[in-house]
């Protein structure tokens, strides 16, 4: 169960909007401060752990700079719900254990109001809004689930993994 | 049977299945640069990993080359120390942009499966390699295991016919595709380019097209290797590629699109997305301050040649700074030898070191709040090349040179 306050965005939110290049750094604090800075510098200081990004189509298109995903994680973003995602972003988020989910009905996210608190239940594969709307989610691909459950792709490189499905995938790798 | 090109490449590299839809594949090569590789160095050491095959890795310091700030110098040094400690076989220091260096290197062969820590790695498709960009964590995993996970993509076949007009280049062709597909029309797809044009597109034009396929969301943007590919490899490697893989004649495509090059005129992508495409003949006049010929999308020899042809014996508008950044040292030397660089310098251009430059808003030539730029670079997203309020138009090198002369972008650039 993930419960958090929603920040709504539109279609085609690109990586330069998510995290401007000037905040590219090896210093985690600089990376953290850059989130959505060009788009609206007021957003980042207001973020709270567990906040949820709601977006339209093609979230994360553009660059492969993983500082985008790092910044979202450093700011405690709990999940991103979008109609769909750009592929590099989706991979990088998944690889780093950041949950990206998509609604069954592309129009369904329109009932969510900016700033409202919603609950995401992966068990029932649905989002519950404050006003009682229920948004069904697309199932998460099994291997993507496996990566998320393991806590990220690099867990597959760990010599001592207890999770069975990770072990199975690991057998393919080692 | 019934296999597309990318199906065949993936089949040849398949190692097993992680799930019904996700394949594990072995990689032909892994490429990376200073900015994105530096991000994984600590994690790589912490896990005590080693590079699966240093001979199949190409690294270049193209983002900070040479570094402009102390912080970037530290990033660069961290990257270089890592590359040397891991005995990366193809560590190309200050030689240019890695996507271009990959094209110039025999590591990139038709039919290969390549991943790189930069979205424009997809440009390897110009030579018939299924190449794609990934984030740093994916690349760390790829460096350590020589493998990655991927969805088998659906394929859209794009057939080029006719003859490109004299004023156009591969950049105009890919802008035409962006106009058709939009920013996400090829999301997760493999774009399979069949060059049936009258004269055959040059490798430079193919690079411009394949590299920008990612701006439509594509996973691969790959030209079916042909005699043009083979001739290029022959010139580069001293031998033909071992094989020119082709899709099956009855391959199943999600869609088939015919593009008649004869019908394409000069195009421009207006701010703030590469898919905001308009014919130059319909553009509203806007005064510009900056013109850029460079980046992996437009800093090749043919681009410098086109610009030099326009600017030969003329002067750039006094209010415009024209920045020229060859995509690699090889391009720089070829352009020097040919004399086109001399013409550009005579016209008032400023020349920067082969590197990514201001394309990603990180190096010399970035834009201020009031700057308006016409550029051959990859993206014109808001804030990408500098200040949030700056504006960038994307166009071919010929159009950039014409705008630099006129001091503005306008519909009459080609009618003078």
CB atoms within 10 A of CB B1: 6
- Per-residue pLDDT tens for B303-346? 999 999 999 999 999 999 999 999 999 999 999 999 999 999 99
Q: Nearest chain A Cα to B79, which residue?
A: A26
| Interface contact A26-B75, CB threshold 8 A | yes
Q: Does B235 have pLDDT greater than 80? A: yes
Q: Tokens 């594990």 — which residue?
A: B24
Mark B254-273 as b/e (b = at least 16 C-beta within 10 Å).
Answer: eeeeebebeebebbbbbbbb
A95–B contact, CB cutoff 8 A: yes
| Interface contact A22-B16, CB threshold 8 A | no
The predicted structure's pLDDT at residue A166: 64
- Interface A–B counts its CB contacts (< 8 A) at 140
A63–B contact, CB cutoff 8 A: yes
Rounded CA gap, B191 and B217, in Å?
10
The predicted structure's pLDDT at residue A163: 59
| Interface contact B22-A143, CB threshold 8 A | yes
Helix, strand or coil for residue B16? strand
Q: Does B98 have pLDDT greater than 60? A: yes
* Helical pair B203-211 and B301-311, crossing angle rounded to 10 deg: 110
Pairing of strands B286-287, B408-409: antiparallel
Q: Which of A9, A10, A16, A40 has the highest number of chain B CBs within 10 A, making it the mutation to test binding with B? A: A16
Say which DSSP state A25 is in: -
The C-alpha of A50 sits at a distance from chain B's nearest C-alpha, in angstroms, of 23
Say which DSSP state B232 is in: H
Is it true that the peptide bond before B413 is cis, omega within 30 degrees of 0? no
Q: Predicted confidence band at B18 (pLDDT cuts at 50, 70, 90)? A: confident
Residues of chain B contacting A26 with CB distance shorter than 8 Å: 38-39, 71, 74-75, 78
Q: Does A162 have pLDDT greater than 60? A: no
A42–B contact, CB cutoff 8 A: no
The predicted structure's pLDDT at residue B362: 84
The predicted structure's pLDDT at residue A170: 62
The predicted structure's pLDDT at residue B288: 98
Q: List all residues of chain A from 126 to 165 with a beta carbon under 8 Å from chain B.
A: 141-144, 146, 152-154, 156-158
Helix (H) or strand (E) segment spanning residue B211: helix B203-211
Q: Predicted confidence band at B165 (pLDDT cuts at 50, 70, 90)? A: very high
Rounded CA gap, B57 and B107, in Å?
9
Residues of chain A contacting B269 with CB distance shorter than 8 Å: none
Q: Which of A9, A13, A14, A71 has the highest number of chain B CBs within 10 A, making it the mutation to test binding with B? A: A14
The C-alpha of B215 sits at a distance from chain A's nearest C-alpha, in angstroms, of 7
Q: How large is the average pLDDT for residues B149-166?
A: 96
Q: Does A173 have pLDDT greater than 60? A: no
The predicted structure's pLDDT at residue A174: 45
Q: How large is the average pLDDT for residues B155-161?
A: 98
Rounded CA gap, B32 and B297, in Å?
17
Q: Does B236 have pLDDT greater than 60? A: yes
Q: Predicted confidence band at A1 (pLDDT cuts at 50, 70, 90)? A: confident
Rounded CA gap, B299 and B334, in Å?
12
pTM over 0.80: yes
- Per-residue pLDDT tens for A17-30? 999 999 999 999 99
Q: How large is the average pLDDT for residues B381-406?
A: 97
Q: Which of B73, B108, B69 is nearest to B90 (CA)?
A: B108
Q: Does B372 have pLDDT greater than 70? A: yes
Q: Predicted confidence band at A159 (pLDDT cuts at 50, 70, 90)? A: confident
Rounded CA gap, A55 and A119, in Å?
16
- Per-residue pLDDT tens for B59-87? 999 999 999 999 999 999 999 999 999 99
What's chain B's average pLDDT? Answer: 97
Rounded CA gap, A57 and B204, in Å?
32
Say which DSSP state B54 is in: G
| Interface contact B384-A88, CB threshold 8 A | no
CB atoms within 10 A of CB B340: 23
The C-alpha of B168 sits at a distance from chain A's nearest C-alpha, in angstroms, of 25
Helix, strand or coil for residue A17? helix
Q: Does B35 have pLDDT greater than 80? A: yes
Nearest to A64 among B135, B188, B382 (CB): B135
B293 neighbors B401 (Cβ within 8 angstroms): yes
Query: If DSSP states are collapsed to H, E and C, what string results for A66-83?
Result: CHHHHHHHHCCCCEEEEC
Q: Does A172 have pLDDT greater than 60? A: no
Pairing of strands B29-33, B113-116: parallel
The C-alpha of A143 sits at a distance from chain B's nearest C-alpha, in angstroms, of 6
Say which DSSP state B118 is in: S
The C-alpha of A171 sits at a distance from chain B's nearest C-alpha, in angstroms, of 10
Q: What is the DSSP string of B239-284?
A: S--S------TT---SEEEEEEGGG---EEEPTB-TT-EEEGGGPP
| Interface contact A21-B119, CB threshold 8 A | no
Q: Does A66 have pLDDT greater than 80? A: yes
For chain A, how many residues are written?
A: 174
The predicted structure's pLDDT at residue B19: 87
B405 neighbors B311 (Cβ within 8 angstroms): yes
| Interface contact B184-A58, CB threshold 8 A | yes
Q: Which of B29, B23, B51, B5 is nearest to B112 (CA)?
A: B29
Residues of chain B contacting A144 with CB distance shorter than 8 Å: 22
């Amino acid at each position: 169960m993930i419960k958090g306050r929603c920040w709504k965005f539109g279609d085609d939110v690109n990586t330069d909007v998510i995290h401007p290049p000037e905040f590219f750094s090896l210093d985690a604090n600089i990376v953290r401060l850059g989130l959505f800075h060009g788009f609206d510098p007021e957003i980042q200081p207001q973020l709270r752990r567990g906040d949820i990004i709601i977006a339209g189509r093609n979230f994360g298109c553009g660059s492969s700079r993983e500082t985008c995903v790092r910044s979202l994680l450093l700011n405690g973003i709990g999940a991103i719900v979008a109609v769909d995602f750009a592929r590099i972003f989706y991979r990088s988020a998944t690889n780093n254990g950041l949950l990206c989910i998509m609604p069954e009905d592309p129009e369904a996210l329109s009932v969510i109001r900016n700033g409202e608190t919603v609950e995401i239940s992966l068990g029932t594969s649905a989002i519950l809004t404050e006003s009682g709307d229920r948004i069904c989610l697309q199932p998460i691909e099994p291997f993507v689930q496996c990566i998320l459950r393991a806590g990220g792709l690099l867990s597959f490189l760990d010599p001592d993994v207890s999770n069975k499905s990770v072990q199975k995938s690991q057998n393919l790798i080692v | 049977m019934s296999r597309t090109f990318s199906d065949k490449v993936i089949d040849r590299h398949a190692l097993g299945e992680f799930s019904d839809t996700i394949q594990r594949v072995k990689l032909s090569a892994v490429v990376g640069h200073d900015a994105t590789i530096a991000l994984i160095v600590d994690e790589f050491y912490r896990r005590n990993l080693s590079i699966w095959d240093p001979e199949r890795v190409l690294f270049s310091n193209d983002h900070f080359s040479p570094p402009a700030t102390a912080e970037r110098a530290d990033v660069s040094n961290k990257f270089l120390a890592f590359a040397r400690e891991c005995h990366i076989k193809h560590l190309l220091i200050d030689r240019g942009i890695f996507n271009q260096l990959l094209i110039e290197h025999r590591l990139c062969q038709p039919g290969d499966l390549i991943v790189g820590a930069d979205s424009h790695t997809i440009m390897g498709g110009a030579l018939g390699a299924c190449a794609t960009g990934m984030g740093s964590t994916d690349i760390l995993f790829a460096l350590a295991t020589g493998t990655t996970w991927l969805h088998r993509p659906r394929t859209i076949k794009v057939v080029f016919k006719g003859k490109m007009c004299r004023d156009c280049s591969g950049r105009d062709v890919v802008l035409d595709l962006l106009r058709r597909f939009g920013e996400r029309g090829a999301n997760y797809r493999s774009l399979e380019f069949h060059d049936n044009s009258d004269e055959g597109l040059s490798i430079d034009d193919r690079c411009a097209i394949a590299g920008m396929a990612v701006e439509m969301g594509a996973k691969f943007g790959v030209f079916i290797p042909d005699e043009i590919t083979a001739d290029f490899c022959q010139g580069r490697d001293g031998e033909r590629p071992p094989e020119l893989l082709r899709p099956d004649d009855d391959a199943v495509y999600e869609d088939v699109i015919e593009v008649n090059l004869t019908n394409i005129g000069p195009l421009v992508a207006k701010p703030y997305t590469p898919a905001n495409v308009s014919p130059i003949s319909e553009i509203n006049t806007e005064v510009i301050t900056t013109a850029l010929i460079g980046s992996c999308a437009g800093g090749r020899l043919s681009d410098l040649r086109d610009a030099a042809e326009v600017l030969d014996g003329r002067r750039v508008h006094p209010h415009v700074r024209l920045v020229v950044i060859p995509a690699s040292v090889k391009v720089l030397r070829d352009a020097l030898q040919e004399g086109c660089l001399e013409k550009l310098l005579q016209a008032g251009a400023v020349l920067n070191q082969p590197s990514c430059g201001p394309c990603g808003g990180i190096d010399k030539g970035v834009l201020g709040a009031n700057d308006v730029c016409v550029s051959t670079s990859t993206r014109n997203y808001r804030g990408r090349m500098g200040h949030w309020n700056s504006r960038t138009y994307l166009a071919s090198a010929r159009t950039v040179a014409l705008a630099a002369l006129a001091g503005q972008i306008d519909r009459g650039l080609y009618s003078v």
